Amino acid sequence: MPTSRQLTPEWRDWIIENLARGCAPQALVEEMVRKHYDRDFAQASVQQLGAHGFAVERAPAAGAYVYETPRLPPGNVVRTHDREVRVALRLARPVVAVLHDVLSAAECAELLRRAAGQLARSTTIDPAGGSYKVVAERSSEGMCFARAADPFIAGLERRLAELMGCPPEHGEGLQVLRYGVGGEYRPHHDYFPPDDPGSVAAMATGGQRVASLVMYLNAVEGGGATIFPELGLEVVPQPGSAVYFEYCNSRGQLDARTLHGGAPVTAGEKWIATKWVRQRRYG
């Protein structure tokens, strides 16, 4: 493939956004070269946009995370096009909510049925290189549905998009995970750490993750709560319920207080479905 020397508006925004986020300029150049940009041209583009102060102009406000109106609609009940979701708990800072009736019992069973037999050991993004790796911190198995894979998945995605206050196109594919006894996901952030070189590739499409919805597909016999160590909060899995949290505002600031994990399962198994949404259209 021939190398390119033409900076599209999308790539221009991408450079500005990532410089503003504090990414190393050289990491941006490398990503552009991987996507077939001429190296000298990529170097000059990144340098020029940095030197002109665009990055500073769009940089996240320094200091504490600024809480904006939550993406999750207000009220005791959120009415989506096909379902009434009950709000059981809301936390303002960070924005966390526990939701009931996100999925029906039949939908939980259907997701479980479709995912079973397609599970592979879960991976996480390598902070240095950006590739996906199996790590001890995440001992689950999972699978991912293609977006709008079929009418059933597309219908759920529409509902989740309404709950999460963003277009379905901003969502990553729905993931289903299974944890056996001893399975856990140690505390982490769902956003891509801006200082990790591996985050550049992860954010090249769709930008940063902004919010997560972890839906419980079964009742867990022992353990398996979703924990927020900074908040002293434990959400116990109930089939059809979910925990929602958001961590990236319109300024691109990240809320570190959304640190969370999946506590070890001590009896039975735990099944969840996860939806992550991005700043922009994904994929």
The reply to whether 190 sits near ligand PD2 by the rule CB under 6 A is: yes
Query: With respect to ligand PD2, which residue has the nearer C-beta, 162 or 190?
Result: 190
Q: Output the smallest distance, CB 177 to ligand PD2, in A.
A: 6
Longest dimension (CA), the chain: 58
CB 243 within 8 A of CB 89: no
Return the one option of ligand PD2, Zn ion, none that residue 262 interacts with (CB less than 5 to 8 A, by type): ligand PD2
Residue 49, token pair as written in the block? 């946009």
Q: For residues 218 and 274, which CB has a smaller minimum distance to ligand PD2 in the complex?
A: 274
CB of 242 to Zn ion, least distance (A): 13
CA dihedral 2, 208, 186, 173 (to 10 degrees): -70
> For residue 25, how far is the Cα from the chain centroid?
24
Contact status: 255 vs ligand PD2 (CB under 6 A): no
Please state the separation of Cα 57 from the chain's center in Å: 26
Q: How far is the CB of 147 from Zn ion (least distance, A)?
A: 19
Nearest distance, CB of residue 122 and Zn ion, angstroms: 11
Residue 172 makes contact with Zn ion by CB under 5 A: no
- Report the alpha-carbon distance of residue 15 to residue 7 in Å, rounded: 10
Q: Which of 262, 275, 278, 280 binds ligand PD2 (CB under 6 A)?
A: 262
Question: Which of 28, 95, 272, 277 is close enough to bind ligand PD2 by CB under 6 A?
Answer: 272
* Pattern 174-203, Zn ion, x by CB under 5 A: ----------------x-------------
Within 10 Å of residue 124's Cβ, how many Cβ atoms?
Answer: 14
Q: Is residue 247 near ligand PD2 by the rule CB under 6 A?
A: no
Which range in 103-111, 129-137, 197-205, 255-263 contacts ligand PD2 by CB under 6 A? 255-263
By CB under 6 A, the count of residues binding ligand PD2 is 10
Q: Does 170 help bind ligand PD2 (rule: CB under 6 A)?
A: no
**What's the CA gap between 141 and 180, in Å, rounded?**
9
Whole-number minimum distance, CB 247 to ligand PD2, in Å? 11
Task: Please tell me whether residue 185 binds ligand PD2 under the rule CB under 6 A.
Answer: yes
Cα–Cα distance between 67 and 199 in angstroms, integer?
24
Q: How many residues sit in the footprint of Zn ion (CB under 5 A)?
A: 1
Site membership for ligand PD2, residue 274 (CB under 6 A): yes
Cβ-based nearer residue to Zn ion, 15 or 215: 215
Buried b (16+ CB within 10 A) or exposed e, 153-174: beebbbbbbbbbbbebbbbbbb
Partner whose binding site includes residue 18, from ligand PD2, Zn ion, none (CB under 5 to 8 Å by kind):
none
Name the residues that contact ligand PD2, by CB under 6 A: 185, 190, 212, 214, 226, 260-262, 272, 274
